[in-house]
Structure 1
C-alpha cells in the first residue's frame, strides 16, 4: 500500500510541469497532455493566421510596386544609338522604347528623313509599349550625323 502511494506521489510530481504549462486542473496524465497539446495547436493556428495576413499584405504591396515600376519604365523614353559600319558610309543601330500611344512611328521616320538617314531594316512592336529596332544608313551625298544628334532628334520626335 505504501508503495502505491509513493508511486502516485511521484507521478503527481512528474505531472506538475505539464500541468503548469497547460493550466489544467486535472489529475490524470492523459488529460494534462491532451490539454497541453490542444493549447499548443491553438497557438500554432494563431501564428499561422498572423503569418498569412502578413504574407497577403506583403504580396499586395509587392504587386503595387511592380505595377508602378512598370508604369515608370513605360513613361520613360529610351533611345540608344550605336554607330556601326565603315567610315565612308556609316550606319546606326537604333533602339527606341517608349510608352504605347498612337502616332509614334511617323514622327520617328520623319526625324530619320530630316537627318538624311535611310532605314535599311526595322522591326516595330506595340504590345505593351512601343519598341523599335532599326538599322539606318547615311545617304552617300550628305555628311553623316553624329550618334548624339540622332539620339536628340529621336527624343524630340517621341515627345
Structure 2
C-alpha cells in the first residue's frame, strides 16, 4: 500500500510537471507553493489558461470563416463586372502597337489574330491576360504599307462587337 501511494504521488507530480510545461510557467517556486497549499490550484490555473486558448482559437476560426466568405463574395462580384471594350492602336515605324481590353469570352484571341491575318499584320510579340477581362498587347508589322491606325482600330472593334453579340445570342438561346 505504501508503494502505491508513492507511485500515485510520482505520477501526480509528472502530470503537474507536464501541465507546467504546457502553461509555459517560469515560476517553479510558485507552483511548489501552490502544491503545498492545495493541489487543485495548479490544475485550475492551467485549465483556465487552456480555456483562454480555446476561446482564442474559436475567435480566430470565426474570423477566418468571415474572411473566406468575404473573398468568395468579392470573386462573385468580379464575375459580374462589365469591362468596357477599349482598342488603342499606335503606329511605330512600319508596324503597330495594339492594345485591346474587353470582356472575357470564348475564342477572343483567335478572332483577333484572324483579323490581324486578314489585314496582313504579322504579330511579332504579344502578351495576353484573361484574369478578370481579356487584355492583349501586341506588336504587329504590316505587310501592306497602306494600313493606317484608323483601319486597324475599326476592324478590331468590329470583330470584338461581332464576337460579343454572337456570345450573347448563344446565351439567350
The TM-score, its normalising length taken from structure 1, stands at 0.52
Is the aligned partner of 1:79 residue 2:59? Answer: no
Distance 1:55 1:103, change over 3 A: closer
Higher helix share: 2
2:140 maps to 1:135 = yes
CA distance in 2, matches of 1:58, 1:46: 19
- Using a 3 Å threshold, how does the CA distance of structure 1 residues 112 and 79 change in structure 2: closer, same or farther? farther
**1:131 positional shift:** 5.8
Deviation at 1:55, TM superposition (A): 0.8
Q: Please point out which of 74, 91, 94 is paired with 2:95.
A: 91
Post-superposition Cα deviations, 1:75-131, rounded to whole Å, max 9, x if no partner, equal: 54453423211xxxx320224354122476447745885xxx421226697977766
Matches of 1:103 and 1:83 in 2, distance apart? 23
Deviation at 1:40, TM superposition (A): 2.4
Unmatched segments (≥5 aa) in structure 2? 1-35, 162-173
**Aligned with residue 52 of structure 1, among 47, 52, 61:** 61
Give 2:70's aligned residue: 61
Larger CA Rg, structure 1 vs 2: 1
The equivalent of 2:23 in structure 1 is: none
Q: CA deviation at 1:36?
A: 2.3
Aligned length: 122
Deviation, 1:33, is: 2.7
TM-score of the aligned structures, taking structure 2 as reference length? 0.49
* Matching residue within 139, 145, 148 for 1:145: 148
Say if 1:101 and 1:130, in contact at 8 Å, map to a contact too.
no
CA RMSD of aligned residues (A): 3.9
Q: 2:15 — aligned with what? A: none
Structure 1 residues without counterparts, runs of 5 or longer: 1-26
